[in-house]
Amino acid sequence: MMEPVLTIVVPCYNEEEVLPDTIHKLRQLLLELMADELVSKQSKILFVDDGSKDRTWDMIYKEGLKSEYIRGLKLSRNVGHQNALLAGLFTAKDLSDCIVSIDADLQDDIQVIREFILKFHEGCEIVYGVRKGRETDTLFKRSTAQGFYKMMKILGVDLVYNHADFRLMSRRALQALERFNEVNLFLRGIVPLLGFRTDVVYYDRLERQAGETKYPLKKMLAFAFDGITSFSISPIRFVLMLGLVSFFMSLVFGGYFLTLKFFGDTETGWTSLITSIWLIGGLQLIAIGLIGEYVGKIYKEAKQRPKYIVDIDSFNLPFSRHRLLQQTDDSLDFRKISDSNK
């Protein structure tokens, strides 16, 4: 039997601190998998540099020159984790039978990749890595993440609980994924929609080895909000319900105020009047803002802008690896290389 070609896709944003170790460990794993004849010798690790400002691309690039198992993809600017991941998945797709995605900080146990491959051999097209617990995360991260899953569930979005973007996908699954043309592609919500035979592998999540999280609270909130609004229209329904309730309430109050006007002292109406002006005004603003969110989404989708732009793919470089290796490190000018590539 022919072994499947595996590509491990690793999005990297300012990861110079963890990268040397990550490269070493992943290559070791790949060599072991090859030795055990679980994956083909054509298998690769694809590092996607998501517009890093530190030496990340330098490192990826040089490793790529040294080892035939390492491929580097440099995006033209920072496009965020999800899009960097997509860039890697779609770039690797044509040359691989299966693809595993994993974060650069190796918080996810890389030994689980072996189990992914075994499941793939059994015929699974999608295999999710699921954390057993979140002991290593801070209490804050844990509770916000759990809140996120709960909220998504209430809003009717089907997510795999405690699964981040550590998963295996077959080429067929990726071809299906590619047909989802949306610009706001929320991977964790879309992948379960693909169907196919799927399975789950449980593992313990470790701590980030070095460097710090690239997902501060602001990005996390944006991510959660994006996830909700690109998947569910429940917020709009909620606003509609609120609108209906306040409409009926205003009818009741309106009747009450009219009665007061004809039979009593009108001045008492001022308090309730000013309160309801604020109330209704607030509700309207919320509603308009929310609808604006969705209109914004439609606007983005209508434009169909590319989700990422590739600057350099180390596979397409015009130079032979030997010639580049002979140059000193300083003379490696990446800009020149990418320009002469065009």
* Positions in the binding site for ligand UDP (CB under 6 A): 11-13, 15, 50, 78, 80-81, 84, 103-105, 107, 213-215
Residue 124 interacting entry, from Mg ion, ligand UDP, none, C-beta within 5 to 8 Å by type: none
Question: By C-beta, is 141 or 321 nearer to ligand UDP?
Answer: 141
Place of tokens 């080892």: 67
Burial class from Cβ neighbours inside 10 Å (0-12, 13-18, 19+) for residue 93 reads buried
- Contact present, 26 and 45 (Cβ < 8 Å): yes
With the C-alpha atoms ordered 332, 334, 339, 342, is the resulting torsion angle positive or negative?
A: positive
**One residue of 82, 96, 101, 107 binding Mg ion per CB under 5 A:** 107
Question: By C-beta, is 22 or 43 nearer to Mg ion?
Answer: 22
Bridge partners of 170?
A: 98
The three-class DSSP label of residue 333 is: coil
* Contact range with Mg ion by CB under 5 A, out of 75-83, 98-106, 199-207, 226-234: 98-106
* Contact range with Mg ion by CB under 5 A, out of 28-36, 97-105, 151-159, 260-268: 97-105
Residue 78 interacting entry, from ligand UDP, Mg ion, none, C-beta within 5 to 8 Å by type: ligand UDP
Q: CA triplet 326, 328, 331: central angle to 5 degrees?
A: 115
Q: CA triplet 215, 220, 226: central angle to 5 degrees?
A: 130
Q: Applying CB under 5 A, does 105 fall inside the site for Mg ion?
A: yes
Question: By C-beta, is 209 or 234 nearer to ligand UDP?
Answer: 209
Question: By C-beta, is 104 or 194 nearer to Mg ion?
Answer: 104
Question: By C-beta, is 14 or 107 nearer to Mg ion?
Answer: 107
For residues 115-142, b (16+ Cβ closer than 10 Å) or e, as one string? bbbebbeeebbbbbbbbeebeebeeeee
Q: Applying CB under 5 A, does 82 fall inside the site for Mg ion?
A: no
Residues that bind Mg ion (CB under 5 A): 103, 105, 107
